[in-house]
Amino acid sequence: MDVIKCRNVNDGFIKGMDMLSFDQEDIKESRAGNVIEHECAVSTVYERPWERVLFEEVRDANPFFHFMEGLWMLAGRNDLTFVKQYNNRMGDYSDDGETLHGAYGWRWIDYFRDGSSVALGTINQLDIIIERLKDDPTDRRCVLQMWDPVNDLDRKGVDVPCNTTIYFKIRNNRLLMTVCCRSNDVIWGTFGANIVHMSMLQEYVASAIDVEIGEYTQVSDSFHAYTKVFDEMHSRLEESDAFDYYSMKHFENPYSNKSINYYPMFNSDNIEDWNKELVKFLDRKPFENIEFDDVFFSSVAVPLQDAWFLHKQGETDDAMSEVQNCIATDWATAGFDWLLRRVK
């Protein structure tokens, strides 16, 4: 197994693309097209996973979608009503156009049954893990399951979980998290959606048990990229004059800039109150005037949401003004830059 050690997603993305660039002659067929696949499994170790926003212009990650999908997961949802507002292609990964069979948050919170009887209801794996780690910080049995062999192993549908299992443990008052992934698209998954969503989960659990956030390790059994996408992006990265790609000469991590900072998702000790605010936010209509007690929702999530809907209405200049009201300067900067690229 090869290892990528990085401060955060911004240097991790470059190191991951560099690693795959040496595998360009090793083309493999896959269900969805030819891929470049690394010769062995890869572990990506994030030292500061809370620095989760990718700023790379060539990658052009949509920060609005990644942020909102992360909250949708923490709410345990599998319906597409909320998340399709930020990416209408989500329906392409659904068998019925309305729900996701492999939705991670749903599997964390409201999927697996308590025993064999439907009458017993579902179990909230996150609640159990949080309580176990509160009771015993040395616990090594905190396994969060996403893969269901009964319904996934022989499934013919378009959507089964790529990330399959998550391990949590506390060391030196820091929550360490390891995510195991059977199939990891480097561009869209590993350094795109996965780092955002899984680091938000890690922060959620760490805050609930009142410990610091530690390292996040992503174990990718198939570390790959689709050839057409990789070749185009690899070429554009090499042509970029921002710095010498892959040697990382003159590279400055965006989070080294004092104007770009992470803002914590949790500002209170009561996780139940935060969960209620989350449900209220997901039910919020565009521009609806709702009061939130938690500043994360009122001053981070709401400005991002309103900026997105202004952009969707064709009012991108107003969206660029609105996104700057977001007090999480990493999300605000990424949102502003993404909107600016749409204008250009």
Catalytic residues: 162
Tell me the C-alpha to C-alpha distance, in Å, between residue 126 and each of 129, 187, 218, 237, 256. Answer: 5, 28, 19, 39, 33
What DSSP element (H or E) covers 65?
helix 63-74
Q: Which residues pair with 330 in a beta bridge?
A: none
| Cβ neighbours for 180, distance < 8 A, ≥ 6 positions apart | 163, 164, 165, 166, 167, 219, 221
User: Which strands, in side-by-side order, build the sheet including 174-181?
Assistant: 2-6, 42-46, 212-220, 174-181, 163-171, 143-145
Could you tell me if 47 and 9 are in contact, meaning their C-beta atoms sit under 8 angstroms apart?
no
Question: With the CA atoms of 217, 223, 225 and 226 taken in that order, what torsion angle do they form, in degrees rounded to the nearest 10?
Answer: -140
Q: Which among 60, 29, 66 is positioned nearest to 237, based on CA atoms?
A: 60
How many residues are present in the chain?
A: 344
- Whole-number Å distance between alpha carbons of 337 and 70: 20
Orientation of helix 302-312 relative to helix 329-343, angle to 10°: 10
- Measured between alpha carbons, how far is residue 215 from residues 135, 151, 175 in Å? 22, 32, 8
| Sign of the CA dihedral with 155 first, then 156, 159, and 160 last | positive
How far, in Å, CA of 55 to CA of 333, rounded? 9
Tell me phi and psi for residue 189, to 5 degrees.
-100, -75
Instruction: Report how far residue 188's alpha carbon sits from residue 228's, in angstroms, rounded to the nearest whole number.
Output: 13
Q: How far apart are CA 12 and CA 327, in angstroms?
A: 25
Give 145's strand partners: 165
